[in-house]
Amino acid sequence: MTNELQIYIDGKYYPKSEAKISVYDHGFLYGDGVFEGIRAYNGVVFKLKEHIDRLYRGAHAIMLNIPMSKEEMVQAVVETLRKNNMKDSYIRLVVSRGTGDLGLDPRKCPKATVIIIADTINIKAGNASETGVTALITWVRRNPVDGTTSEVKSLNYLNSIMGKLEANAAGADEAICLEQNGYIAEGVGENIFIVKNGEILTPPSSTGALEGITSDAVLKLCDKLKIKVTVTNLTAYMLFTADEAFFTGTAMEVVPIREANKRVIGSGKPGPVTKKLMVEFKKVIADPANGVQI
């Protein structure tokens, strides 16, 4: 095949059709590893260093030794984009525990596997930015923070997959997970915010929610725009009766939520605070200072 994507695996590049890992890799066998989803816009990898920092924090939390420095990882991501001649891309950076045996003992894996894929992604439904998305609060609770917590962006995403399956079955665009006490944690792949009386509220990471790179950028925008933000536990009632609600995430960026569990949120259309943040976030993306040049 010609013009195939080139996939980085442990320092070498392989055509997409030949990019393979061992069936004994613990990432495949046990979901044992960490990953990042990263975006490149117009020749700049957005918040790359922040993504790399989070990757290494997650690896530290699960005692996974990444066999590269952060600087080497940054360069590997940039070089993968150059190899594929991509200026606009969705990048999937994966570090698994590596090849071991059929037992789960991590000591049997002498070296981690590092994979970098540069491709595209589209998880928004239709013109979601203009119309908003529908959401369903799923029965699938977020994993507790003393277990496979979603604070670590691990390869074990079954918790999110189960929530997404329920949303799909109900015809909703996205699922929202509660934590063990019934408070809202996050979407299955996004952070969540609500707007009430011009003030923004968002759950704390103690719910097990991932500390999002996009959500952090939005919080900084709120500070710049003098929009009050309160980090607090959110109930389903607070979501249903909010004036506005929106998701943030690397793939989704900033997307309004127009409906949750068949309850219309606010007017059912993107609200003024959400629309303002969407406009300002586009400016953040367009600023080369907020990323690493390819």
Burial of residue 103, with CB atoms counted within 10 A of its CB: 0-12 exposed, 13-18 middle, 19 or more buried: exposed
How many other CB atoms sit within 10 Å of the CB of residue 100? 20
Let me know if 276 is a catalytic residue.
no
Structure tokens at 108: 């049997």
Q: Taking phi first (over 0 means left), then psi (-120 to 50 degrees means alpha), and beta for anything else, what does residue 239 get?
A: alpha
Cα(204)–Cα(189) distance, integer angstroms:
16
What is the dihedral sign for C-alpha 244, 135, 277, 152?
positive
Does residue 98 contact residue 110 with C-beta atoms inside 8 Å?
yes
φ/ψ (deg, to 5) at 64? -110, 120
For the chain, what's the residue count? 294
Q: Which of 16, 20, 108, 153 is catalytic?
A: 153
Q: Looking at the annotation, which residues are catalytic?
A: 153
